[in-house]
Amino acid sequence: MGLRLSLYLGFLVSTLLVRLLWDLRFAPSWLYAALVLLVVGLGLWTMRGSPALVWVGGLVTLAGLGVGYFNAVASLIALAGLFISYHGWRNHLSEKDQAAFWGWVFVWPALALLVFWQVLPAFYAVWLSLLDRFNFLGPSRFAGLGNYEILLRDPLFWKAMGNTFWFVAFTVPIGIGLAALIAILLNERVRFQGLFRTLYFLPYITALTAAAAVWDWIYNPEFGFLNYLLGTQGLDWLNRPEGIFSLLLAPLGFQLQGFFAGPSLAFVAIMVMTIWHFLGYQIVVLLAGLQNIPREYYEAAELDGASWWQQQWLITWPLLSPATFFLFTLGLIGAFQVFTQVLILTPTGGVLQDTLTVTLYLYNKGFRDSDFSYASAIAVVVFGVILILTLIQQRVLERRVNYET
């Protein structure tokens, strides 16, 4: 009975979802009709030998589905019928069957929203990426893998991917390293720990838009504070497309080109700002990890004559690995989502698109060039890349993570 009830409930909700999709021209009307027939069949099977009230509810549900054929919102009447039926069943249902009913009733609202706004759209993105220039301006036709073909030869896409690579390579180790240093020092039972923690944490809860506006002002070529501090009057940090490695190594006579020239100075400026923004979060996570390490370990090490540095390297660092692993994963995924600070600091994507990131490129393609298909192709490729990276990371790195303390 519990299973039948769950199926009845599940198909009823699915039917209503399909009704909505039909309204939005995503599902054909016959699918709704077919599902209604299925629900009716399931209903008859479930309600066999039930009290009269159950059947009344069933009729209301049927009426709701019928009216729903003409009006999507009215189809919700069917849900009222369901609860009437349950009222009739209530005293005849076993504990287990009641659990089946209420479990699904509780789960369905969130589940329906997740399916409608996350699961189906993910598949829809794949479908869109197979079309030719889908947008609201005109009809589009099936283009197969055409978008992906163009994408793989698109220098701007590779520029964005390269920037993402540099973003991970710079911000993740530097961020985690700095955060570990600060967290370990904060954990040394310092005074004003709360004050320090607040000061380090505030940038993280500050909106990136406002934070980027401030950094834009700090980076200002004429009146910026950074140029005053470094004595580099007039240096326009955010408009310098030269790679950082080529800038650093040029005095030594090395000439680096392309990818190996490293991220542009402008992108480095953006990364510095991002590290500043994210550091507080990393510190708090690492601090929580540190406080989980039992003090006895250090006491034992102390007795064995281990120095402070040895204690940090041999006890703290390995036992902190779950937290650092988590931060690494987060940094990796987050690098593909960098958008706000780039848009504020370099609204056009920088000189020669040198600060282009994947999400900014996706935004430009989708919402400035109105090419939803190409933008979807970017999204799908990014999805794939993230998936592969996460898998590799779990296979290779997670083995070295020390979960037991």
Partner 1 sequence: MRRSSPLGRFLIYLVLTVGAVVMAFPFYWMLATSLKSPQEAQQARPIWIPERLKASNWRVAWSLGAEAGSSWWGGFGPQQSVTLKLYAPPGPVPQVMVPSPPGAFSDPRSEQTRVQVSYQGDHWAIRFTNPSSEHFRTLPAVILISKEYPSYTPELPPDAIRSSGDDWRLEYVNVAPGLLGYIFHNYLEAWYAAPFARYFFNSFFTAGLQVLGGLFLAVLAAFALARIPFPGKSWVFGLILATLMIPGEVLLIPNYVLLARLEWIDTYYALIVPWLASVFGIFLLRQFYLSLPQDLFDAARIDGASYWTQMFRIALPLSIPGLITYGIFTFLGAYNALLWPLIVTNSPEMRTVQLGLQVFIGEAGSDYGALMAASTVSILPIILGYFIAQKQFIQGVARSGIK
Q: Smallest distance, Å, CB 335 to partner 1?
A: 11
Q: Residue 219, Cα to own-chain centre: how many angstroms?
A: 29
Sites for partner 1 among residues 113-142 (CB under 8 A): 113-122, 124-125, 128, 136
Nearest-angstrom CA–CA distance, 16 and 25: 14
Q: What 3-state class would DSSP assign to 314?
A: helix
Query: Please, which residue, 23 or 242, has the CB nearer to partner 1?
Result: 23
Sites for partner 1 among residues 360-389 (CB under 8 A): 362-363, 366-367, 372, 375-376, 379-380, 382-383, 386-387
Helix axes 321-335, 155-186, angle to 10 degrees: 150
Query: Please, which residue, 220 or 239, has the CB nearer to partner 1?
Result: 220
- Residue in the structure block whose two tokens are 């989708």: 366
Which alpha helices (DSSP H) does 90-224 contain, by range?
A: 95-114, 120-129, 146-152, 155-186, 193-205, 208-218
HSE-up (13 A, CA, CB side) for residue 190: 13
- Residue in the structure block whose two tokens are 């507080």: 280
- Output the six-digit token pair for 329: 């994963």
Sites for partner 1 among residues 165-184 (CB under 8 A): 178, 181-182
Sites for partner 1 among residues 190-219 (CB under 8 A): 190, 194, 196-211, 213-218
- Residue in the structure block whose two tokens are 């310092």: 190
Query: Please, which residue, 183 or 261, has the CB nearer to partner 1?
Result: 183
Q: Smallest distance, Å, CB 195 to partner 1?
A: 8
Query: Please, which residue, 261 or 271, has the CB nearer to partner 1?
Result: 271
What angle (nearest 5°) sits at the alpha carbon of residue 126, between those of residues 123 and 132?
140
- For residue 221, the surrounding DSSP H or E stretch is none
Q: Smallest distance, Å, CB 38 to partner 1?
A: 17
Sites for partner 1 among residues 237-266 (CB under 8 A): none
Sites for partner 1 among residues 317-336 (CB under 8 A): 322-323, 326-327, 333, 336
Q: What 3-state class would DSSP assign to 345?
A: helix
| Mask for 66-85, x = binds partner 1 (CB under 8 A) | --------------------
HSE-up (13 A, CA, CB side) for residue 35: 23
* Binds partner 1 by CB under 8 A, chosen from 223, 254, 260, 313: 223
Nearest-angstrom CA–CA distance, 221 and 227: 7
* Binds partner 1 by CB under 8 A, chosen from 233, 310, 348, 405: 233
Contact between 290 and partner 1 by CB under 8 A: the answer reads: no
Sites for partner 1 among residues 17-46 (CB under 8 A): 24-26
